[in-house]
Chain A
Amino acid sequence: MPEIIDTSSIINSYVPVAIFLIVGVVMPPITMLIVKFLSPRSKSKQKFTTYESGSDPTGDARIQFNVEYYIYAIAFVLFDVEILFLYPWATVYRGHGITSIATTAILAFIVIMVIGFIYEWKKGALQWSTK
């Protein structure tokens, strides 16, 4: 835009960012404090290990991970993406005159996801085999 911009307005436009920053910095300590005051305690050994979605968090870096862990993770990410798609779809579904196209499109999408899911299931990927 060719017009001369007032520098102060630029600074002003960063005010929301600053607020966001402050809230971001302050929020975690506050929540932790609240937790400290409000939650009940139970002290066990497991309690102090880091949470890694079920896999052993400590040890040699060269250990072999259980491959099922990754399959779960991938399935999780896939369905995450599905939600990510469905959400904006739901918001534009009405009011744009594309109802039929939108329905077919999302149905095709879901069918593909379902086929993938059937494949995963049938292949036994969801079975956590214990060695």
Chain B
Amino acid sequence: MNGITLFAPELTVVATALVVLLIGLFLNTESKKVLGYLASAGLFASLVLTLMNLDANAVMYSGTLTVDALSQFFKIVFLIVALLVSVASIKYTENNEHVEEYFTLVLLAVVGMMMVASSNDLLVLFISFELASISTYALAGFERRNLKSLESAMKYFIIGALSSALMLFGISFVYGLAGTTNIPEIAQNSAMLVSSPLGIVSIVLLVAGFGFKIALVPFHMWAPDTYEGSPSVVSSLLAAGSKKMGFVAAFKVFMIALVALKTELTMAFAILSVITMTLGNVIALSQNSVKRMLAYSSVAQAGYISMAFVVMSPMAITGGLFYILSHGFMKAGAFLVTAVVGYMILSENREAENVDHLENFKGLAKRMPISAFSMMIFVFALAGIPLTAGYMSKFVLFSSTIEAGLVWLAVIAILNSAISLYYYARVVKYMYFYPAEGERVSEPLPYALTLIAAVVGVLILGFWPEPFIQWAMEAANVLIAT
């Protein structure tokens, strides 16, 4: 049973989800803490299993699922992000009676993402997409007594449902034109897609469906509200995990299935990517809520990564994938810092509102040095300061753009990076150059651990990008070869 071994990571996560749910039913609130450890252990086991099968290559279950370098790459990204989120959530869900639901939903969302990475068929892709989406809808509204959280979940759900509908609509067109939902087979029949005007409609609908997850302008508008309103740990999962799911789906569909439409798509993606990065960065400039700022920054980063769809050269896709890996660490880490700050503010004043306001970051270096230092590394990485993961990924991606002759696009992207430095540096200024307004707070261990892990990740990717770029290149070859 080759299939079972290759899908052991997913099965592990599913089993953990079910076990967590079942055990949680029979525990009282105090002892539910163990569920967090259980979930994290499950994710870790899954990560190890994935790493063991890193160079697997197989298509199975009647061609509906595939395990290759690309899927393993994304699975590892998802699992790392989920592991960071789940360890941090041990603290977040402390004394909450709904721990089992929380972790089950996180785990199921991860399974959904992993299955998207493995899917080789539009229907499987859609169902996995929905599994991840629906789990995250519920997670976004996890703080059900918090109006903001509810609002964010509601918006996320409505827009998500609309986008799912559009995506399914698009898939139905593709099926109608190509006669199959199998991704490689679509590629063979894509002549039909090119010749028919409905081909355009199907592509645009798919772009809208994936663009929702990726947060491409103009499908991004839910993102700031949702990222801001949801619990910070969930925002972290959304921005660092679920966004990447959109990317892997888009990679599969646009680079494998619809590769015949390459020329038409290139220009459209160039425009989308320029608008996305510029709008994201410009709006982020005037945000005072750190989570909102990170949300817009996340929109901007989506714009950068989308450049991979424009250039479509092996190096660009490598850069895009490497960027996705680094972004997983940087963004997850940055949102987790807001979670720690939120914890700090709420532990002082239970009724505090707008806990992620920039004012609350004043003098963070004095109050919570580990968090402040990590945040500095994360925002510098996001801005693309050398020797961080962000720099290397921007470097590879931008230079591939220049190599492909799209100098104007690279120039716009670099200008955008320059703009972004302002709002990132502002956070550092607040943390390090303003006096602290409050006592030193000791950082809870789960938070501190995850932050340190993410910082280490960011720095390793910055200092030693070689093996990871190599690995991203192998994953990119999957997309190029077919």
Q: Do A and B touch (CB < 8 Å)?
A: yes
Taking the complex as formed, is B22 at the interface, i.e. its CB lies under 8 A from any CB of chain A?
A: yes
Q: What does the 1/0 interface line of B13-54 toward A look like (CB < 8 Å)?
A: 000001001100110000000000000000000000000000
Distance, CA A29 to CA B21, complexed state (A): 51
Question: CB-nearest residue of chain B relative to A122?
Answer: B25
Contact with B along A102-131 (1 / 0, CB 8 A): 000000000110010011001100000000
- Interface bracket on B: under 10
CB distance from B437 to the nearest CB of A (A): 43
Structural contact, B18 and A118, CB atoms closer than 8 A: no
CB neighbours (8 Å) of A115 from chain B are: 18, 21-22
Nearest-CB distance from A67 to chain B (Å)? 13
| Most chain B beta-carbon contacts within 10 A, residue among A112, A118, A119, A122 | A119
Q: A115–B100 Cα gap in the complex (Å)?
A: 13
Residues of A within 8 A of B18 (CB): 111-112, 115
Secondary structure type dominating chain A contacts: helix
A residues within 8 A CB of B21?
A: 115, 119
Query: Whole-angstrom distance between the alpha carbons of A112 and B21 in the complex?
Result: 11
Q: How far is the CA of A66 from the CA of B247 in the complex (A)?
A: 41
Q: How far is the CB of B474 from chain A (nearest CB, A)?
A: 32
Q: How far is the CA of A119 from the CA of B100 in the complex (A)?
A: 10
Main secondary structure of the interface of B (DSSP, over half): helix
Residues of the B chain whose Cβ atoms lie less than 8 Å from the Cβ of A111: 18
B31 CB → nearest A CB, Å = 16
Interface bits A88-114 vs B (CB < 8 Å: 1, else 0):
000000000000000000000001100
CA A111 – CA B25 in complex, angstroms?
Answer: 16
Rounded to whole angstroms, the CA-CA distance of A111 and B21 in the bound complex is 13
Q: How far is the CA of A119 from the CA of B26 in the complex (A)?
A: 10
Assembled-state Cα–Cα distance A112/B18 (Å): 8
Residue of A nearest to B25 (CB): A122
Q: How far is the CB of B127 from chain A (nearest CB, A)?
A: 13
> How many angstroms between the C-alpha atoms of A31 and B111 in the bound complex?
50
In the assembled complex, the CB of A97 is this many whole angstroms from the nearest CB of chain B, namely: 15
Contacts of A122 in B (CB 8 A): 25-26
CB distance from A109 to the nearest CB of B (A): 12
Q: How far is the CB of B97 from chain A (nearest CB, A)?
A: 11
Shortest distance between the CB of A74 and any CB in chain B (Å): 13
Closest to B1 in A: A101
B26 nearest in chain A by CB position: A122
**Which residues from chain B contact A118 at a C-beta distance below 8 Å?**
22, 25
A122→B26 CA distance, assembly (Å): 9
A108 to chain B, nearest CB (A): 9
How close is B3's CB to chain A, nearest CB, in angstroms? 10
Docked pose: A12 CA to B462 CA in angstroms: 71
Contacts of A112 in B (CB 8 A): 18
Q: Which residues of A contact B22 (CB under 8 A)?
A: 115, 118-119
The smallest beta-carbon distance between B192 and chain A, in angstroms, is 17
- Cβ contacts under 8 Å, A119 to chain B: 21-22, 25
Question: Which positions 49-67 of chain A face chain B at CB distance < 8 Å?
Answer: none
Please indicate the chain A residues that have their CB under 8 angstroms from the CB of B26 in the complex.
Answer: 122
A31 to B434, CA, bound (A): 82
Q: Which residues of chain A from 22 to 77 have any CB-CB distance to chain B below 8 Å in the complex?
A: none
Q: Which residue of A lies closest to B100 (CB)?
A: A119
A22 to B315, CA, bound (A): 64
Whole-angstrom CA separation of A118 from B100 in the bound complex: 14
CA distance A123 to B21 in the complex (A): 11
- Report the separation of the CA atoms of residues A115 and B18 in the bound assembly, to the nearest whole angstrom: 7
Taking the nearest CB of chain B, how far is it from the CB of A116, in angstroms?
A: 9
Shortest distance between the CB of B65 and any CB in chain A (Å): 14
A121 to chain B, nearest CB (A): 9
CA of A118 to CA of B21, assembled, Å: 10
Residues of A contacting B25 in the complex (Cβ-Cβ under 8 angstroms) = 118-119, 122-123
Find the A residue at minimum CB distance from B24: A119
What does the 1/0 interface line of B430-446 toward A look like (CB < 8 Å)?
Answer: 00000000000000000
Bound form: Cα–Cα A122–B25 in Å:
7
Report the separation of the CA atoms of residues A118 and B26 in the bound assembly, to the nearest whole angstrom.
11
Chain B 415-456, CB-CB to A under 8 Å as 1, else 0, gives 000000000000000000000000000000000000000000
Instruction: Name A101's closest neighbour in chain B (CB-CB).
Output: B1
Name the CB-closest residue of B to A115.
B18
Distance of A101 Cα from B21 Cα, bound (Å): 26
Q: Once bound together, how far apart are the Cα atoms of A115 and B16, in whole Å?
A: 13
Chain B residues numbered 46-89 whose CB sits less than 8 Å from any CB in chain A: none
Given contacts A115-B22, A123-B25, 11 further A-B contacts (CB under 8 A): A111-B18, A112-B18, A115-B18, A115-B21, A118-B22, A118-B25, A119-B21, A119-B22, A119-B25, A122-B25, A122-B26
> 7 closest A-B pairs (Cβ-Cβ)?
A122-B25, A115-B18, A115-B22, A119-B21, A119-B25, A115-B21, A112-B18
Residues of B within 8 A of A (CB): 18, 21-22, 25-26
Q: List 13 A-B contacts (CB under 8 A).
A: A111-B18, A112-B18, A115-B18, A115-B21, A115-B22, A118-B22, A118-B25, A119-B21, A119-B22, A119-B25, A122-B25, A122-B26, A123-B25
| Chain A residues proximal to chain B, CB less than 8 Å | 111-112, 115, 118-119, 122-123
